[in-house]
């Protein structure tokens, strides 16, 4: 599958007749909401884990030196915490473009902190897309992030903003925080 998924996502019409749809964000959508929304709430989805396994050729890296950004991978019993946004279906044209580098719009159950849940949408880059980089040692991921830069800025800014957003939500993520720690060690070594 191509890493440009705009056309595929435009065919996803499950929520087109709805006045509003909940969108679950687990990466940059937590800290960078560059679209209008009706409401924003901390939320989670079950049986998925956040991983820095997706290549970024368009935002945090280039074709020749991709950065790494998060996607979700299935993990039975896991919970991925993030932020949910209530949006109108018209916002998906912008979001499909923003998430075009391998991410597919999928329906999912979104849970809220008050115990309620609703069906909504999440963008996930599966292993079948051309930009998928897959699993790697967290230290190696940090090294790749430290050296990557794209039109949206340094890849390290993405990692650090995500880690900070998760702290503000009080939702630790061992994978994200380990990569952040390794990145800090790499940057400290460069200063000495």
Instruction: Establish whether 99 is a catalytic residue.
Output: yes
Q: Which of 99, 113, 128, 168 is catalytic?
A: 99
Residues near 101 by beta carbon (within 8 Å), at least 6 away in sequence? 3, 4, 5, 54, 55, 56, 57, 58, 59, 125, 131
The span from the CA of 66 to the CA of 148, in Å, is 6
- Strand runs labelled E in 59-162: 67-87, 104-112, 117-124, 149-150, 153-154
Q: Which residues are catalytic?
A: 99
């Amino acid at each position: 599958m191509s890493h440009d998924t705009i056309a595929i996502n435009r065919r996803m019409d499950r929520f087109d007749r709805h006045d509003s749809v909940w969108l679950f964000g687990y990466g940059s959508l937590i800290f960078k909401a560059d679209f209008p929304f009706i409401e924003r709430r901390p939320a989670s989805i079950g049986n998925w884990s956040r991983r820095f396994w997706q290549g970024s050729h368009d935002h945090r890296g280039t074709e020749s030196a991709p950065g790494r950004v998060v996607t979700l991978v299935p993990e039975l019993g896991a919970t991925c915490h993030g932020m949910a946004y209530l949006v109108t279906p018209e916002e998906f044209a912008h979001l499909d473009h923003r998430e075009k580098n391998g991410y597919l719009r999928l329906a999912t159950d979104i849970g809220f902190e008050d115990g309620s849940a609703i069906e909504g949408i999440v963008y996930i880059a599966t292993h079948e897309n051309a930009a998928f980089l897959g699993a790697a040692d967290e230290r190696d991921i940090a090294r790749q992030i430290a050296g990557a830069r794209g039109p949206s800025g340094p890849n390290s800014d993405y990692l650090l903003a995500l880690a900070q957003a998760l702290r503000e939500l009080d939702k630790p993520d061992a994978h994200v925080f380990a990569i952040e720690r390794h990145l800090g060690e790499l940057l400290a070594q460069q200063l000495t």
